[in-house]
């Protein structure tokens, strides 16, 4: 395997290679480690050293210091003390110079990483700006889509969104078709109020009814304004006939409660038709048609609400 050079001078001076560092760490002969430490780096361009090599480099220099102490003790016994002191001094100065070079390389790495962090922060800021610009460019499209699927007066989903949601649930395995029920509502007494007091009063009345229905039905069910004074509720959870009857009575009471527009008190009563899948239909058109037919029967008979299978009774 090729052994990468850890550092090198511009004038092709001696370098510290991976083999030399390993030799220093493993306690190779003093001459090899002594030569290995004689490497330099230009002051204006410290070497780029891989982070995984730092521990080995520092270990090598530390090993060299320890070797120097041990060698000086041995030589003090063989040679005279003055020569041993000179030998130790030379070795320690050599190691200190190596530490200085390693320090310069470390400082160079720190400056390089600081520059990379600054560039990364700038890149993130530019990406955030681009993202915001993209979102701003898509805002009109999202707003148009929302308006196309919601009633402007009440902010409820409109007929198109109601049908889209109903079709989706009917064609989806979750929840199953038998969990779907449509309640269709029409307001008795709305037209006289609208004719007598104007469209502003009529609009305010519809907004109040829309709010009451939304609170009464609750999540995750859907309340929609189908047009004029007609509303529909889509129940996406399995409901028993008794539960549906209780909910229909609740909606009747909520809508029939007196309401104030300005200084005047008004009352409207709903007629509610109920159709469930799959008994009363397995398509969007069938369920809406049958719930609407049940609503008209309740309206004619003034009974508040009627199930579709009671239409012909």
- pLDDT tens digit sequence for 139-167: 566 665 667 889 999 999 999 999 999 99
Q: Which two tokens stand for residue 301?
A: 């008979």
**Cβ atoms of 149 and 162 closer than 8 Å:** no
Give the Cα separation of 112 and 73 in Å (integer).
42
**Cβ atoms of 270 and 256 closer than 8 Å:** yes
pTM of the model: 0.56
pLDDT of residue 2: 42
Give the Cα separation of 146 and 155 in Å (integer).
10
pLDDT of residue 52: 54
CATH 3.30.70.270 domain position(s) in the chain: 159-310
Residues of the chain with pLDDT under 50: 1-46, 177
- DSSP element (H, E) containing 198: none
pLDDT of residue 312: 60
Q: What SS3 class is residue 87? A: helix
pLDDT of residue 126: 79
pLDDT tens for 235-292 read 987 678 999 999 999 999 999 999 999 888 999 999 999 999 989 999 999 999 999 9
Q: Phi and psi of 136, rounded to 5°?
A: -65, -35
Give the Cα separation of 211 and 206 in Å (integer).
9
pLDDT of residue 228: 93
Q: Does 159-310 carry CATH code 3.30.70.270?
A: yes
Radius of gyration for the chain, computed over Cα atoms and rounded to the nearest angstrom: 43
Buried residues in 25-53 as b, exposed as e (16+ CB within 10 A)? beebeeeebbebbebbbeeeebbebeeeb
From 12, 30, 116, select the one nearest 68 (Cα to Cα). 30
pLDDT of residue 48: 54
Query: Within its chain, how far is the Cα of 111 from the centroid?
Result: 34
């Amino acid at each position: 395997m090729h052994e990468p050079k850890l550092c090198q001078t511009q004038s092709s001076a001696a370098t510290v290679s991976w083999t030399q560092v390993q030799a220093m760490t493993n306690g190779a002969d003093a001459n090899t480690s002594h030569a290995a430490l004689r490497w330099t780096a230009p002051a204006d361009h410290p070497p780029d050293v891989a982070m995984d090599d730092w521990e080995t480099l520092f270990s090598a220099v530390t090993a060299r210091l320890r070797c120097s102490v041990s060698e000086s003790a041995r030589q003090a016994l063989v040679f005279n003390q003055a020569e041993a002191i000179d030998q130790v001094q030379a070795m320690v100065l050599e190691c200190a110079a190596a530490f200085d070079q390693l320090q310069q390389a470390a400082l160079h790495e720190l400056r390089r990483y600081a520059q990379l962090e600054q560039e990364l922060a700038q890149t993130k800021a530019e990406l955030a700006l681009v993202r915001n610009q993209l979102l701003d460019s898509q805002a009109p499209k999202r707003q148009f889509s929302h308006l196309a699927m919601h009633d402007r007066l009440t902010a409820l989903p409109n007929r198109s969104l109601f049908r889209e949601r109903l079709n989706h649930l009917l064609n989806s395995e979750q929840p199953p078709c038998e969990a779907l029920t449509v309640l269709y509502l029409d307001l008795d007494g709305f037209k006289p109020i609208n004719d007598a007091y104007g469209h502003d009063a009529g609009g305010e009345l519809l907004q109040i009814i829309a709010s009451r229905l939304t609170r009464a039905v609750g999540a995750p069910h859907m309340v929609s304004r189908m047009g004029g004074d007609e509303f529909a509720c889509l129940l996406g959870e399995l409901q028993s006939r008794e539960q549906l009857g209780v909910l229909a009575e609740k909606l009747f009471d909520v809508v029939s409660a007196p309401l104030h527009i300005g200084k005047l008190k008004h009352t409207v009563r709903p007629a509610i038709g109920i159709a469930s899948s799959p008994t009363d239909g397995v398509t969007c058109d069938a369920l809406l048609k049958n719930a609407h037919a049940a609503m008209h029967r309740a309206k004619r008979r003034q009974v508040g609400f009627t199930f579709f299978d009671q239409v012909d009774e």
